[in-house]
Amino acid sequence: MDNRGSSAIGGRTGYVLVVVAAVLVSAVLVPVVWEETSGPDDAVAVVSIDRTITSSTVDALEEDLREARQNETVKAVVLKVDSPGGSAAASERLYLAVQRTVEADIPVVASVQATGASGAYYAMLPAERIYTMPSSMVGSVGVRATKPAPPYGNEIRTGPDKASGTMEQRREQVETLRRMFVGSVMKHRGDDLNISREEVSHAKVYVGPNAVENGMADRIGTQSDAIEYAADQAGLDSYAVVEKEPPTLGGIILLGTDSGQPVVVKKSPVGYDGVDAGTPLMVYGEVQYQDEVITNGSA
């Protein structure tokens, strides 16, 4: 894919700017505010996917990517990924937003920091190249979901299928999502994979070098490497790097992204506190509501 185009982050408030030359990306030291610089007209936008993927976090990320497509100065986008995944529906929304950016002829490159797994891996599949650090965790192509809750004997329902479900129905739902996820991996990375579709569907998590070896990622490299490659794909010799200031965490707190370090949230990642909604999650590792471990899905 050789995406060359122009678009991008229209709202200038909340962005910082670093003026760089294509061959000097890693040498930049001090960022300056966009409004106060007279640097290059072209820019590479860095969009951070750095927390559990929920409807609310995707609202902001969709807006970031929409602004990137509309801003005529932004010629390429780098996804800075450090997320264990999240809600299946929210992950799909983010995947589609990234895909729309690619279809706008803007080079999109992903840079995995500590973790790019499950729903986060799904979201960055349309990227032209995936960079990973040697210690990054990449993959987890699968879905988890809770068992259906038993019916309550004193409950009144307006229809026989209201809030009903069997284990077989739940398995069918999760299997449908699994096939969609695996199918997307094969669509975007099938020509690069050195593992079978069956092994992809085992939902293993790979350390960076292994992910590159088996084709789940493309290169070992830093965010600067990803920025330089994105700029090269956009045909830029000199450019600015713009990165939106991270939003406040609100009700979401990430305490860790390793499989042994649960993701802790103050609110349900699917938006239904205290309700067995049966919503599958694309999350690598466990999800906790404060002190209670929740076994809702992962991918």
Contact 49, 83 (CB under 8 A): yes
Return the closest-CA partner of residue 282 out of 123, 96, 102. Answer: 123
For the cut 60, the answer to whether the pLDDT of residue 249 exceeds it is: no
How many C-beta neighbours within 10 Å does residue 23 have? 12
For the cut 80, the answer to whether the pLDDT of residue 290 exceeds it is: no
For the cut 80, the answer to whether the pLDDT of residue 177 exceeds it is: yes
Q: State the pLDDT confidence band at 62, using cuts at 50, 70 and 90.
A: very high
For the cut 80, the answer to whether the pLDDT of residue 21 exceeds it is: no
pLDDT in tens, 22-43: 333 333 322 322 233 345 689 9
Mean pLDDT of 103-111: 97
User: Structure tokens of 226?
Assistant: 């990803």
Q: Report how far residue 143's alpha carbon sits from residue 201's, in angstroms, rounded to the nearest whole number.
A: 10
Tokens 């099938």 correspond to what residue? 190
Position 265 scores a pLDDT of 38
Domains within the chain, CATH numbers bracketed: 15-294 (3.90.226.10)
How many C-beta neighbours within 10 Å does residue 30 have? 6
Q: What percent of the chain has pLDDT over 90?
A: 55
For the cut 60, the answer to whether the pLDDT of residue 197 exceeds it is: yes
* Lowest mean pLDDT, pick from 11-20, 34-43, 165-174, 185-194: 11-20
Tokens 């969709």 correspond to what residue? 62
Q: Report how far residue 44's alpha carbon sits from residue 186's, in angstroms, rounded to the nearest whole number.
A: 28
Roughly how many angstroms between the first and final C-alpha of the chain, as a whole number? 27
Return the closest-CA partner of residue 77 out of 53, 93, 57, 61. Answer: 61
Distances (CA, A) of 22 to 7, 30, 102, 177, 233: 19, 17, 21, 41, 11
Position 120 scores a pLDDT of 96
**Mapping DSSP to helix (H, G, I), strand (E, B) and coil, where does residue 131 land?**
strand
- Distant-in-sequence, close-in-space partners of 77: CB < 8 Å, separation ≥ 6: 8, 44, 45, 46, 47, 65, 68, 101, 106, 107, 108, 109, 230
Position 158 scores a pLDDT of 79
Mean pLDDT of 53-77: 94
Mean pLDDT of 79-94: 94
User: Structure tokens of 208?
Assistant: 């960076």
Mean pLDDT of 85-105: 95
Distances (CA, A) of 100 to 62, 68, 112, 116, 154: 10, 11, 20, 20, 48
Position 2 scores a pLDDT of 42
Mean pLDDT of 65-89: 94
For the cut 70, the answer to whether the pLDDT of residue 136 exceeds it is: yes
User: What's the length of the chain?
Assistant: 299
For 285, counting Cβ atoms within 10 Å of its Cβ (0-12 exposed, 13-18 middle, 19+ buried), the class is buried
pTM across the whole model: 0.73
Contact 56, 248 (CB under 8 A): no
